Amino acid sequence: MRRFGVSRITVRQAIDELVHKGLAVRKQGKGTFVAGPSIRHDLHDLRGFFDVFLSQGRRPETRLLSFAAEAPPAEIAAALKLRPGVRPMRFQRLYVLDGKPVGLAEAWLTPEASGVSWNEVETHPTYAILQKLLGFRIARADMAIRARVAGKALAKTLAVPAGAAVLLLVRTSFDTAGAPREVTHFTVSPEAYEFTLSAGGPLPISSSLKATGS
């Protein structure tokens, strides 16, 4: 108030705006603090994870942890519409900002990706692998978000306590012919990464929460 010559109400409104934008956080009983680095992933646009970081002026370190043909879980085989016995390519990629892990991507690609080398996977984002290296044009993606509890292995990878709550984005991408080309499980710490979506109207309104008696 003294520095800018404004009223207490104006200061409160300014702080409310900072909280709304994720630049500050309120902690009950402690006060308001500057928020730590946070990546906001807008789900309205079809964009790869690496590009989300770049769009916000952050360039993460990426570490390829594995890449090999593997027998898929039933849900992955069904999502990729694989015939029995077909082994897709699976890789894990860790995203690190300022020395701290912020996200782990586990991607399953259709068998055509067996011709891609470790070095190419290490140096190309997932969508670049699909479009630039394999020649598939990605037209859309179905996404779902759910909460999960970090087991010991995941907790160690993301440097969070075992049993901590994390967010999981499941993404299935399709080419222009409607064929599924990848399924990715992207797990993030909610303290460093958040998903956003802006929805438009019109808004249907239910008449009531309970049916009224006669």
Q: Are residues 19 and 91 in the same domain?
A: no
Give the mean pLDDT of 143-162: 94
Q: Specify the pLDDT at position 94.
A: 97
Q: Are residues 139 and 152 in the same domain?
A: yes
Mean pLDDT (the chain, rounded): 90
Q: Which of 118, 192, 195 is nearest to 158 (CA)?
A: 192
Amino acid (one-letter) located at 89: M
Q: Specify the pLDDT at position 18.
A: 82
211 inside domain: no
**Stronger pLDDT, 33 or 120, i.e. the higher one:** 120
Query: Is the confidence at residue 214, as pLDDT, over 60?
Result: no
Positive or negative torsion for Cα 135, 138, 142, 146: positive
214 inside domain: no
Give the mean pLDDT of 1-14: 91
Q: Tell me phi and psi for residue 127, to 5 degrees.
A: -70, -30
Q: Which of 116, 90, 118, 117 is nearest to 104 (CA)?
A: 90
Q: Are residues 82 and 96 in the same domain?
A: yes
Write the pLDDT tens digit of every residue in 41-96. 888 889 999 999 998 888 999 999 999 999 999 999 999 999 999 999 999 999 99
Query: Is the confidence at residue 212, as pLDDT, over 80?
Result: no
Range of the domain at 14: 1-35
**Best mean pLDDT range from 19-28, 29-38, 96-105, 166-175:** 166-175
Q: Specify the pLDDT at position 17.
A: 86
Q: Are residues 102 and 7 in the same domain?
A: no
201 inside domain: no
Q: Are residues 73 and 155 in the same domain?
A: yes
Q: What is the CATH number of the domain that holds 23?
A: 1.10.10.10
Amino acid (one-letter) located at 187: T
Q: Specify the pLDDT at position 24.
A: 75
134 inside domain: yes
Give the mean pLDDT of 115-127: 97
Q: Specify the pLDDT at position 118.
A: 98
What b/e readout covers 80-93, taking b as 16+ CB neighbours within 10 angstroms?
bebeeeeebbbbeb
Per the structure, how many domains does the chain have?
Answer: 2
Q: Are residues 47 and 84 in the same domain?
A: yes
Q: Are residues 13 and 82 in the same domain?
A: no
Q: Mapping DSSP to helix (H, G, I), strand (E, B) and coil, where does residue 15 land? A: helix
Q: Are residues 70 and 96 in the same domain?
A: yes
97 inside domain: yes
Q: Are residues 168 and 68 in the same domain?
A: yes
Write the pLDDT tens digit of every residue in 159-200. 999 999 999 999 999 999 999 999 999 999 888 888 888 888
Q: What is the CATH number of the domain that holds 81?
A: 3.40.1410.10
Q: Specify the pLDDT at position 33.
A: 76
Q: Are residues 60 and 12 in the same domain?
A: no
Q: Specify the pLDDT at position 37.
A: 53
Query: Is the confidence at residue 36, as pLDDT, over 70?
Result: no
Q: Are residues 61 and 11 in the same domain?
A: no
121 inside domain: yes
Q: Are residues 26 and 60 in the same domain?
A: no
